[in-house]
């Protein structure tokens, strides 16, 4: 596609929430006034130094930031190429990068006087982070989760309930993340007067893709400083997995205007791109769903198709609109990894580094296994280890023992 190169890859979106043709505000009228309020509240918060100061306090003492940038020595030796660093987002409180965004949104909700928080969740990581911060700030919390995901991510369901959240299993549609998002939107339309919708990824109507990106950009900003301290220069490449794409956007965004940095996003190829998968860029085209225009998996009539991934967190037929734009403009390379490749990477990282990754970043590790050997030994590759694998241990254990697929 012929798209003019912008002066900066970091200036979007425009004032209507568009990244090129992507993004926008495709929502029911009931929600529109609230979305405009949210935009105003976010603009005011950004300009208020006390907001950032307060947030930094929680990020340090509650979340445990900065997360380490760890040199994966044995993985590097094993692959025999690029020097691999892991950005250890799995060490955050609640076990994934999701908490960075939730903290920001909950603080916005408090500024807006909203007492009831709703969220959608796939793997349960965003749900756990939301339940955690709602407990911390004494807010009511309702989490929508596809019934299929409730089944395969039991440990996280139990965690959310222990934290005082109500988990609602969603039985409509394909009973996964997309349906959880539909149901959360239905709740929001109904309870718009007192409810804040805490979206977990860089998708949804403007301003969500922007504010989630901004809250997650701490990942890339820290990486930049840490790499400078350890190696005295910028990394040469970045790798992250993508469902909606919030951990990837958080790592990528601060580096988009550094042309020497190669950037790779990894979608979930499920059983393979010619079969059931969740790779919206590789196998989809632009459409409109959940408040934004972006790459979507759909049929010839514009009906949304079922996604499939072994990883509940990537099992979504869309992707954040800014990723769609970065793809069309050619700044980020979007690759994909299958269920089997992710499983192999899950085991490799566990055995070599003593780190059990979540199945989501196992997709990123899978592509590192392909990319790193082709790079020289002085090539610095950063992979976002966006979550820990405790939640996946029962599911992967069953698969490895041949009990289920």
Q: Check residue 169 for interaction with another protein (CB under 8 A).
A: no
Q: Check residue 100 for interaction with another protein (CB under 8 A).
A: no
Contact 358, 389 (CB under 8 A): yes
Q: Find how far residue 303's CA is from the centre of its chain.
A: 24
Q: Nearest approach, Cβ of 37 to another protein (angstroms)?
A: 10
The pairing of strands 116-121 and 195-197 is parallel
Residues 31 and 55: their CA atoms lie apart, in Å, by 27
- What residues have CB less than 8 Å from 139, skipping those under 6 apart? 106, 109, 115, 116, 117, 133
Q: Check residue 1 for interaction with another protein (CB under 8 A).
A: no
Q: Check residue 28 for interaction with another protein (CB under 8 A).
A: yes
Rounded to a whole number of angstroms, the distance between the first and last alpha carbons of the chain is 38
- Residues 264, 124, 266: CA angle, nearest 5 degrees: 10
The pairing of strands 116-121 and 140-146 is parallel
Residue 31 or 45: the one with the smaller Cβ distance to another protein is 31
Helix, strand, coil shares of the chain, percent, nearest 5, are 45, 20, 35
Binding window for another protein (CB under 8 A); candidates: 98-106, 290-298, 321-329, 383-391: 290-298
Give the per-residue contact string, 344-383, with another protein (x = CB under 8 A; - = no).
----------------------------------------
Give the per-residue contact string, 122-161, with another protein (x = CB under 8 A; - = no).
----------------------------------------
Contact 76, 371 (CB under 8 A): no
Residues 160 and 62: their CA atoms lie apart, in Å, by 18
**Applying CB under 8 A, which of residues 192, 234, 273, 344 lies at the interface with another protein?**
192
Residue 155 or 173: the one with the smaller Cβ distance to another protein is 173
Q: Nearest approach, Cβ of 217 to another protein (angstroms)?
A: 26
CA distances in angstroms from 83 to 55, 76, 287, listed in the order given:
33, 6, 39
Binding window for another protein (CB under 8 A); candidates: 76-84, 132-140, 282-290, 333-341: 282-290
Binding window for another protein (CB under 8 A); candidates: 20-28, 217-225, 243-251, 374-382: 20-28
Within 10 A of 370 (CB to CB), how many other CB atoms are there?
13
Residues forming the active site: 98, 120, 386
Binding window for another protein (CB under 8 A); candidates: 127-135, 155-163, 173-181, 330-338: 173-181
- What residues have CB less than 8 Å from 108, skipping those under 6 apart? 38, 41, 42, 45, 196, 211
Q: Check residue 34 for interaction with another protein (CB under 8 A).
A: yes
For residues 53-82, which are near another protein according to CB under 8 A?
none
Residue 255 or 325: the one with the smaller Cβ distance to another protein is 325
Q: Check residue 29 for interaction with another protein (CB under 8 A).
A: yes
Find residue 121's DSSP bridge partners.
Answer: 145
Give the per-residue contact string, 301-330, with another protein (x = CB under 8 A; - = no).
xxxx--------------------------
Hey, what are 402's tokens?
A: 């041949």
Rounded to 5 degrees, φ, ψ at 332 are: -115, 140
CA distances in angstroms from 58 to 15, 74, 84, 102, 299, listed in the order given:
30, 33, 29, 12, 45
Nearest to 35 by CA among 55, 12, 17: 17
Q: Check residue 30 for interaction with another protein (CB under 8 A).
A: yes
**Applying CB under 8 A, which of residues 75, 117, 180, 298 lies at the interface with another protein?**
298
Q: Nearest approach, Cβ of 110 to another protein (angstroms)?
A: 21
Q: Nearest approach, Cβ of 47 to another protein (angstroms)?
A: 23
Hey, what are 384's tokens?
A: 């976002």
**Applying CB under 8 A, which of residues 27, 148, 248, 368 lies at the interface with another protein?**
27
Binding residues with another protein: total (CB under 8 A): 37
Q: Check residue 189 for interaction with another protein (CB under 8 A).
A: yes
Q: Nearest approach, Cβ of 273 to another protein (angstroms)?
A: 21
**Applying CB under 8 A, which of residues 287, 357, 361, 387 lies at the interface with another protein?**
287
Residues 215 and 183: their CA atoms lie apart, in Å, by 25
Q: Check residue 113 for interaction with another protein (CB under 8 A).
A: no
What is the contact surface with another protein in residues (CB under 8 A)? 16, 24-34, 172-173, 178-179, 182, 185-186, 189-193, 287-291, 293, 296, 298, 300-304
């Amino acid at each position: 596609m012929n798209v003019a190169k912008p002066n900066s890859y970091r200036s979007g979106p425009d004032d209507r929430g568009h990244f090129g043709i992507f993004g926008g505000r495709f929502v029911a009228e009931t929600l529109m006034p609230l979305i405009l309020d949210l935009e105003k509240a976010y603009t005011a918060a950004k300009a208020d130094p006390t907001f950032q100061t307060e947030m930094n306090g929680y990020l340090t003492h509650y979340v445990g930031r900065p997360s380490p940038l760890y040199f994966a020595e044995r993985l590097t030796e094993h692959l025999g190429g690029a020097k691999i660093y892991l950005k250890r987002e799995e060490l955050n409180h609640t076990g994934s990068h999701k908490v960075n965004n939730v903290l920001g949104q909950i603080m916005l909700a408090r500024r807006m006087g909203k007492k009831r928080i709703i969220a959608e969740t796939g793997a349960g990581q965003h749900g756990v982070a939301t339940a955690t911060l709602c407990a911390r700030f004494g807010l009511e919390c309702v989490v929508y989760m596809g019934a299929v995901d409730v089944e395969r991510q039991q440990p996280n369901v139990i965690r959310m309930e222990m934290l005082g959240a109500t988990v609602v299993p969603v039985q409509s549609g394909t009973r996964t993340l997309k349906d959880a998002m539909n149901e959360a939107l239905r709740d929001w339309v109904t309870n718009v007067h007192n409810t804040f919708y805490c979206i977990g990824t860089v998708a949804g109507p403007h301003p969500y893709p922007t504010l989630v990106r901004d809250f997650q950009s701490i990942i890339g900003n820290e990486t930049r400083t840490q790499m400078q301290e350890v190696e005295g220069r910028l990394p040469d490449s970045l790798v992250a997995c993508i469902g909606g794409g919030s951990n990837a956007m958080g790592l990528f965004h601060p580096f988009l205007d550094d042309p020497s940095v190669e950037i790779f996003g990894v979608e979930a190829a499920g059983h393979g791109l010619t079969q059931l998968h969740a790779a919206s860029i590789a196998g989809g085209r632009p459409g409109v769903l959940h408040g934004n225009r972006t790459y979507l998996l759909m049929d010839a009539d514009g009906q949304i198709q079922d996604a499939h991934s072994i990883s509940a967190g990537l099992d979504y037929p869309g992707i954040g609109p800014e990723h769609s734009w970065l793809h069309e403009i050619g700044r980020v390379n979007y690759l994909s990894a299958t269920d089997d490749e992710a499983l192999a990477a899950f085991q490799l990282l566990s055995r070599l580094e003593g780190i059990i990754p979540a199945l989501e970043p196992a997709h990123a590790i899978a592509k590192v296994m392909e990319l790193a050997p082709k790079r020289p030994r002085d090539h610095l590759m950063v992979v976002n280890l966006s979550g820990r694998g405790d939640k996946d241990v029962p599911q992967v254990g069953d698969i490895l023992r041949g009990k289920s697929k």
